[in-house]
Amino acid sequence: MTQQTTIEISAPDVESAIEQGVAKLGVLREHVMVEVLEEPTKGLLGLGSKLARVKLTVIGVPTPPINELPPAPPKPAAPKRPSRPYADLDEDYEEDGGVPQVSSAEMIEDARIGADVLRNLLDHMRIQASVTPKQSETSEGEAEHWILEITGQDLGLLIGRRGETLASLQYITRLIASRELGRRANIVIDVEGYKARRETMLKRLAKRMADQAVQRGRTVTLEPMPPHERRIIHMTLRDHAGVTTESVGEGDRRKVTIVPRRRSDR
């Protein structure tokens, strides 16, 4: 494992800076926390332009190269590991369903193991914060899970740009907890109620955009979102009399479209 755990990289764009930093650290991308320190800017006639600058912090134990791994013993098939930046528990909260239900005993074990793992990660990151498990409020068709609420001072760093740092932290926590449990850990991580506030905002956005779609008689396309946020949009509008919703696009560019119903369908 590399001795260097935090670096700053400058490049023409954010993605290039991240790729260079990951390569220099010698780790996989999901093992780093990304903080965008400065967005790139273009100067007039090429003068005064600024490079993108990012800070990368290793938050997980890097996986050794495939050719150095010992042969894996036969074992039951594990859940497919998502490859998107938002590859975390929320990946399973897709538009068409939730995660498998678990017993009360398993729920309690999820909370205990998940909270211990998260506290250890925060200690390694030298972040002073409290972790409080609380059971989620679930909607129809959604599996019960635990929310590990992080509270403290100046925790914006843990959220990151558009919640990407929080998603990475959640993925690492789930990965470690799931290995200790020997099964999927049904946990979600939130920082100072960020996800709750984001959900409220998305529900308002969904209703406002649905009204626009009906008034204008045209499809409204939202910005790309991770799976659990797209599902919030779908669930908010599933009983709307004037519109239907669907997801379009691939990978990180997948987004929700809000389509006005034809009068004959209402």
Residue range 130-171, pLDDT digits in tens: 999 887 765 555 556 788 999 988 888 888 877 888 888 999
Mean pLDDT of 126-131: 91
Model confidence band, residue 119 (pLDDT cutoffs 50, 70, 90): very high
What's the token pair of residue 191? Answer: 């920082």
Whether 202 shows a pLDDT value over 70: the answer reads yes
Q: What separation in angstroms does the CA of 5 have from each of 156, 162, 178?
A: 20, 23, 24
Structure confidence at residue 204 (pLDDT): 93
Residue 192 burial (CB < 10 Å; 0-12/13-18/19+)? middle
CATH (residue range 81-192) = 3.30.300.20
Of 5-9, 11-15, 49-53, highest mean pLDDT: 5-9
For residues 254 and 222, what is the distance between their CA atoms, to the nearest angstrom? 10
| Residue 23, phi then psi, degrees to nearest 5 | -65, -40
Residue 10 burial (CB < 10 Å; 0-12/13-18/19+)? middle
Structure confidence at residue 47 (pLDDT): 54
What b/e sequence results for 51-90 when a residue is b if at least 16 CB atoms lie within 10 Å of its CB, and e otherwise?
Answer: bbbbbbbbbbeeeeeeeeeeeeeeeeeeeeebeebbbbbb
Higher-confidence residue of 107 and 1: namely 107
Task: Provide DSSP, 148-162.
Answer: EEEEESS-HHHH-GG
Whether 53 shows a pLDDT value over 70: the answer reads yes
With contact defined as beta carbons under 8 Å apart, do 202 and 223 qualify? no
Whether 193 shows a pLDDT value over 80: the answer reads yes
Could you give the 3-state DSSP secondary structure of residue 244? strand
Which residue in this structure is represented by tokens 């909370």?
111
Whether 61 shows a pLDDT value over 90: the answer reads no
Q: What separation in angstroms does the CA of 42 have from each of 15, 36, 47, 50?
A: 16, 17, 8, 7
Topology of 196-265 in CATH? Ribosomal Protein S8; Chain: A, domain 1 (3.30.1370)
Model confidence band, residue 113 (pLDDT cutoffs 50, 70, 90): very high
What b/e sequence results for 198-220 when a residue is b if at least 16 CB atoms lie within 10 Å of its CB, and e otherwise?
Answer: beeebeeebeebbeebbeeeeeb
SS3 content of the chain, % helix, strand, coil (to 5): 40, 20, 40
Classify strands 255-260 and 243-248 as parallel, antiparallel or unpaired.
antiparallel
For residues 150 and 118, what is the distance between their CA atoms, to the nearest angstrom? 9
Of 68-72, 104-108, 181-185, highest mean pLDDT: 181-185
Helices marked H in the chain — which ranges? 14-25, 104-124, 156-159, 164-181, 194-216, 227-237
